[in-house]
Amino acid sequence: MDDSKDLGLEEIRAFLAGSQSVQFKGLRREEIYPRMERTLVRQEHGRLGRADKGLVRRFEEKVTGLSRAEVTRLITRYGDKGEVKARPYQRHRFTSRYTKADVELLAYVDRMHATLSGPATKRMLEREWSEYGQAVYQRLSKISVAHIYRFRKTAVYRRENTTYQPTRPTPVAIGERRRPDPGGRPGYLRVDTVHQGDQEGRKGLYHINAVDEVTQWQVVGAAPQISEAFLLPVLTAMLEQFPFRILVLLCYKWAEQQKGQQGSCRIRARAILTRSVAMDCGLWRSARTRRAAGLELGRNPRRA
């Protein structure tokens, strides 16, 4: 709104009477407050009577879009200070007791003592001032344990004392690796495979050897390939020949090397199998296969 022309009280009264159906609204306080101050100065608001002051107040309510209470508050501020300006925002802040140097000193103490607990660190800071008379520890000697932990999270502290701890691997017990311990009981079978080698480009057989740890009862079989389709009938027939209950199956990890060599390379690492862990040597691919063959651990098909 262009109000650069001075308006008298009669013009203001006529304006209010003719603009009852019109609504005005200011955009920002930076525009509203200076415009209101100019109007109050032109009208010499302090010298006006009560009725004329109410007329000016209603005029300001109309052209600014502010509420009656807010316009009254601004006019009162003008009467007290002679100006209409927004009060600057003043955030309440507590007085800082500790300085940046104190935080750096705390980081130095933690770095020298491998970052002890809060109570232990507090006790050290107290002794530095009370027993050894170190003036730099005077403020830190009164610090609380909670404030110590709070300072340890700040950027100043981390810049002075940053420690990195490598990831600690968590071992997953997929298979318990140790020497077999049958305790004098039969039923601990050790299974191994040997490749007899190739001849004129033709693959040789895989010999499968199953030996009981205690009785040394031995059964030998052969399969053209190491796969579930070929091993399942061979192992079923081999396990049926043991006259005692099968408790645990043990096997070697093995890997075949066929790059210009004949034979097999066995990695001698035994793995004791449980009900939930498959054989490391790859003899059983799934629990479904074992159930289909009736060869669950602790069970002999012949004695079921």
Q: What pLDDT digit, counting tens, does each position of 91-104 carry? A: 777 788 899 999 99
CB of 50 closer than 8 Å to CB of 9: no
Series of mean pLDDT values for 10-residue runs along the chain (304 residues):
65 81 73 84 85 87 85 86 80 84 94 92 94 93 94 93 79 60 84 82 86 90 85 86 82 41 32 37 43 44 44
pLDDT at res. 148: 95
Instruction: Measure the CA–CA gap between 292 and 304, rounded to whole angstroms.
Output: 14
Residue 172, pLDDT score: 66
pLDDT at 164: 74
Model-level pTM? Answer: 0.34
Q: What is the pLDDT of residue 124?
A: 94
Q: What is the pLDDT of residue 268?
A: 32
pLDDT at position 103, please? 94
CB 180 within 8 A of CB 250: yes
pLDDT score for 112: 92
Task: Produce one character per residue of 226-264: b if its CB has 16 or more CB atoms within 10 Å, e if not.
Answer: beeeebbebbeebbeebeeebebbbbbebeeeeeeeeeb
What is the predicted pLDDT for the residue at 178?
58
